[in-house]
Each structure stands twice: as C-alpha cells, then as structure tokens.
Amino acid sequence: MNNLVQLYKAALAIMLIMVSSCSKEFLTPDPKGTLMEETYYSNPDEAFAGLVSVYDPVGWQTAVTYFNFGALNAASDDHVAGGGGPNDMETWQRWSNYTLNESIGPQEDYWDRNFTGVSRANIFIQKIEAGIPGLSEALAARYIAEAKFLRGYYYFDLVRLFRNIPFYIEPLTTDNMREQTQVEPEVVYAQVEQDLKDAIAILPPSIPGATEGGRATKGAAQALLGKVYVYQKKWNEAAAQLAEVNGTPGGTSQYGYHLLDDFADIFRPDNKFHSESIFEIVHSAVGALDWGAWGVFYGNVATVMFGPRGYSGPSYYSGWSFCPITKDLYDLLHYDPRFKATVADVDSLEQIGEAQYEKGYMNTGWFIQKYAPLTEFAATNGVRELNYPQNYIEIRLADTYLMEAEALVESGQGGGAGSRAYQLLNAVRNRVGLGPIEATLDNIFLERRKELATEGHRWYDLVRSGRAPAALGARGFVAGKHEVLPIPYNELLNTQLVQHEAYK
C-alpha cells in the first residue's frame, strides 16, 4: 500500500495515546492503548493525549532521532557510515557514499516521520479549533500554538530534505489523498513562517523542565523561525529573530538562555533542559523496554549505535561502531579544547593497553563522545542498548549565536572587532578558552564544524552554503543532485508525485 495512504489512515483512524503523569518528563510516554480518532477529543485529557501524539514523531527511534546523528553524520565529511560491514544499515551506507536512489536510502524514514507529524498536527488543530468540552480558551490556544510549531518543524525538515513536496494544512480525505501534488518550496516556507509566527504569539517564554521539558516555547519557535530564515537567505529577518533569542552575547537572554561554563556539561544525561538548551528531544530509561518494543523505544538508541564494537575497557559499553569520525575531523579537533568532549579516542586507549575493541567497517578508532554509551548512565532495567537516557538537543544557544553571526555578516553588517557578529562568534570561542578572531564566513563555518561536531548539523551546513561539492565530491556527491533526497519510490506509486529530475 502507498505510504502516503498509510500515513493518512494511521493519523485519521488510529492514535497511539501516550499520556504522561506529573512525576515524569512531559514526553516520557506511557502507552495506554489505541482509540478511534472519530470518537476522540471529547474532554481535556484526551486533548492533551492528542497533543502528545503530535509530538510523538519528533522522537521516533527507528527514524530520525538517531538518524539526525546517524544518516546525516554518515553523509557528511566528518564521518563514514561504519557499522559491521558495507550492508549494515544499508540506507546509511548509500547516503555516505552517494549511491542512494529512490528505492534505497534513508528518505522513507524522513518522509514517514515528518508527514505523520504533519497529518497529526492538521487533525489536532482542526479538532481543538472545533472546541473541546471543558478545555479552557487559554489552554486550547497554547495547544494549537504547540501544534503549529510542530507542523512548522516537520514541514521545515521535509522542504529542506526533499525541496518539492506535497503540501496540505487540512486533514486529507479518501477522495483527495491520491491527488496531492508537489508545490514549490516557497509555498511551504511561507506556511512554516506563518505557523511559527502564530506559535510565537502564544507560547510561554519558559516552562518547568522537570514536568514539561521537551515542549515548545516562545524561544524555541523564534530560534526555529530564525533558522528557517537562514535557509532562505533572508539575512536581515534571520538576524533580527535570532537576536531575540540570543540577547547580549555571552550574557543571559530574555528567556534565561546562556552558555554553560563547561562545554562537556551540555551533553550529560544528568543535566537535561539546561540554560543552553532551546529545543530538546526527550529520552528516558524509565520504559525498561526490550527488543519486542522495536520502534517505540524511550531510550536513545543512537548511544549504542555509536559505541565501539566489541569493546572492553573503561568508561564505555560495547556498541555497534556506526559513524566513526574521519581523520579530517580528528585532525581539526585534536588540539581544540572541545576534543575530549567530542571524540572518543578509543584507538589511543588500545595503544596504551587500557582497552580493546573490534575494528568495525571503515574503522578509524575515533568515535562519538557526546552521545557515547557511558557505563555511568547505563540503564539497570530492560535491555541496556535500548534504554540510554541521553536527550538530543536539536537547537542550542551556541548554534543560534553562530547562525546570527552568519546572518549579520551576510547582510553586510560586518564582523570586525566590536561588531555584534564578532561578539557572538567569540562568545562561543571564549567559553572554551579560545582567543578572538574576526567574524568572516569561513571562520563562522569552521567554528560551527568544531562546536557542533557529531550533532547532525554538518551536512546541512555544507549543502546550504554551497560547500558540499568540494567537501564531498570525493565521496560521490554530485552537484545539482545530492543536495536533496529522492522522493521515496513507494510514494510515486498511484499518486501524482514526480521524482526529482536528477534521480530519474
């Protein structure tokens, strides 16, 4: 069956209801079964459960949560796919060596995750706008704002990965689902901007991390809108929006954001929802799940994906050796203060006799430290590999500092000493003890590569800046083709969708 139809039916006919108690983080789900959508949304509790279902695809484990690390990292010049062999996670291998096609590649996971989110958001907004007995006007407004933030988030992922996509903001029907056609990116971007502006007007400026961590805030919506402007090269708008998030470089912003003193503390599982985190995807060990729960894990499976294979030694548990770090990134970071918090130098541990590990496919000996399977945080219940508690910070303050600096330089405001772009760039550097440099585009992108290494940003930065052909040409990247993913083959069957010309 065509997956667009499957997504529609899943969103319209059946919802996985995930309700969290006050004692848990907001997006730590507690499955309660399935209910028919037609008879749902009859009271405030069901409205809240529906909202959680809209958030749910953000953290899907068999799609993008570890794909943000995995597939995107593997496609960049900072990593190779790795794993157990050339066919292990073939979708990652195909993106890493640029042999992907409409049938084989990671595109189906991204498509499914994001269109599921869009469909759920459309249904949810329609239901809440129609009125829910007992739901206050203020709470209904907040719920709609969160759903619009999420719809903007999902559509932004789709338009930057696929460019020409089907677009709808009303629930699909059995009469029109197969008649959807692709639209120009500008149409999608316009709706994303409007959704985020609507969300900004309503969302709270802050939330209690202990009970609502992971929910959208005004700052998160402004940060995402600034990022959306950056991708469209709307530099003045981007700079203005990101300045609202960032405040005084190196200080505390209006939303309480500020850079942490210790770079390594950003990624500790016992330091969630800290002052540098703007939008954070929640993971937890409380599910204590096993392999029978594949696809609905609460833990961060990326952690074991990236660990060294067959490892015995201090600090780490054995993992599956995906996304080993390239020599280029290792050399770039080796004498940088962020090295130890970014790179797990297992090769050096073996050389001094402190560890042993199996040399996986395309092994370099260097692995991801930021989300490594640390023994300190391993789950004690359930299958350890499926229950690591590391959250994934999708947007953090150093990222928005550097995006604003880029936008300021691109808009002609300069990056010399004393300029705001200079202050933003060097606040990031000063946090780790590095001296000031001029805020040129080359310096800003180099700092992004070092500061955000292994976090899933590099491939996007290469593509949007036009640097991808030079950085990835030796891997097989073809300019004019590999800036986007192919439309998944199953989506082309019995629909009006057409493949990108370069993939035909």
Q: Hey, what are 464's tokens?
A: 């949007």
Q: What pLDDT is stored for residue 24 in this prediction?
A: 36
pLDDT above 60 (res 194): yes
Buried b (16+ CB within 10 A) or exposed e, 324-349: bbbeebbebbeebbbbebbbbbbbeb
The 3-class secondary structure across 193-248, one letter per residue, is: HHHHHHHHHHCCCCCCHHHHCCCCCHHHHHHHHHHHHHHCCCHHHHHHHHHHHHCC
Which pLDDT band holds residue 283 (cuts at 50, 70, 90)? confident
Q: What pLDDT is stored for residue 67 in this prediction?
A: 56
- Would you mind telling me the total number of residues written for the chain in this entry? 504
DSSP string computed for 396-425: EHHHHHHHHHHHHHHTT---STTSHHHHHH
Q: What pLDDT is stored for residue 358 in this prediction?
A: 98
Correct CATH for 3-61+100-285 of 1.10.540.10, 2.40.100.10, 1.10.1200.10, 1.25.40.390: 1.25.40.390
Q: What is the CA radius of gyration of the chain?
A: 22
Mean pLDDT, rounded, for 44-65 = 83
Domain parsing of the chain, residue ranges: 3-61+100-285, 291-369+381-390, 394-458
How many C-beta atoms surround the C-beta of residue 382 within 10 A? 19
pLDDT above 70 (res 175): yes
Q: What percent of the chain is modeled with pLDDT above 70?
A: 90
**Burial classification of residue 36, based on how many CB atoms lie within 10 Å of its CB (0-12 exposed, 13-18 middle, 19 or more buried):** exposed
Q: Which of 76, 58, 63 is nearest to 457 (CA)?
A: 76
Quick: pLDDT tens for 103-129.
999 999 999 999 999 999 999 999 999
Quick: pLDDT tens for 292-308.
766 666 788 889 999 99
Instruction: Please provide residue 291's backbone torsions phi and psi, each rounded to the nearest 5 degrees.
Output: -65, -20
pLDDT above 70 (res 5): no
